[in-house]
Amino acid sequence: MTFVFGPMESWELEVLDQAAECLVRARYVIALTGAGLSVESGIPPFRGPGGLWTKHGEPPMDGYERFLRDPKKAWEDRLNPAGPMRELWEALNSARPNPGHEALVALEELGILKCTITQNVDNLHRTAGSTRLLEIHGNATLIRCINCVARYEREEIDFAELPPRCPRCRGILKSDTVSFGEPIPSDVLAGCSDEAERADCMIVAGTSATVYPAAQFPISIHERGGDLLEVNPYESEITAFCRLALRGPAGELLPELLERVRSRL
């Protein structure tokens, strides 16, 4: 998707300056990112125009139950993807991080950004170099044991027999991507809660932050008097709670923000 993004108006520059001030003054800044950031890297969204589910139909809402009922079949489908999954895999394989991902890494390296919580499963934050990363809906390139929560790269796993088993505990392995009806892995959820409790400022980029459980984190920060900075081309459900709203694609605004933070350090 291409955003037409003209030269910035003076009030927009003013909001960017205020946002940079906010980041520099805050004690503990975290970020929450969502599909909007991935779309800028060429990954199709699930819903809305061009969305995978819009085109191919909504997936079953009981994905996790289906997996548990027949993990062998789920793995057969997974290893020979069709329809929306095939399209998603192709997009994931060719996608590269955009300047928005890279700006978050630079903010982390400056010591400003303490943690990134993402709802995206596309591995782009990792590829860009984020090290303090919590992937609340999992990571599509990883495989997780549903028993001991250990995570593995695909190459580490033997697929000769399906479902594959955990090398550590022999538990059944599943894609790390959180399925419909599947609880968020406890380690990630606990990490997100800890980070949200410590944060007094959150960058909310490319997400309307309405999907539970990610939605609770910005709201809890706001309720404790922290500042939310929205980076999104569109107004969203979270806008009303944000101290500042930067209107435009994250891939353009986050680098602008980074530059202004740098000049204040």
Could you list the residues that contact Zn ion (CB under 5 A)? 145, 147-148, 150, 166, 168-169, 171
Could you tell me if 13 and 244 are in contact, meaning their C-beta atoms sit under 8 angstroms apart? no
Cβ closest to Zn ion, residue 122 vs residue 176: 176
- Specify the DSSP class assigned to residue 241: G
Minimum Å distance from CB 157 to Zn ion?
11
Closest contact distance (angstroms) between CB of 83 and Zn ion is 30
Q: How many CB atoms lie within 10 A of CB 7?
A: 6
- Count Cα atoms within 13 angstroms, Cβ side, for 34: 23
Q: Which of 56, 125, 137, 222 is catalytic?
A: 137
Residue with smaller CB distance to Zn ion, 169 or 211: 169
- Distance in Å, CB of 150 to Zn ion, minimum: 5
Please give the span between the terminal C-alpha atoms of the chain, in angstroms, as a whole number.
Answer: 34
Judged by beta carbon, residue 145 or residue 245, the one nearer Zn ion is 145
Is 137 designated active site?
yes
The Cα–Cα gap between 108 and 23 comes to 12
The whole-angstrom separation of Cα 84 and Cα 156 is 26
Task: Please give the positions annotated as active site.
Answer: 137
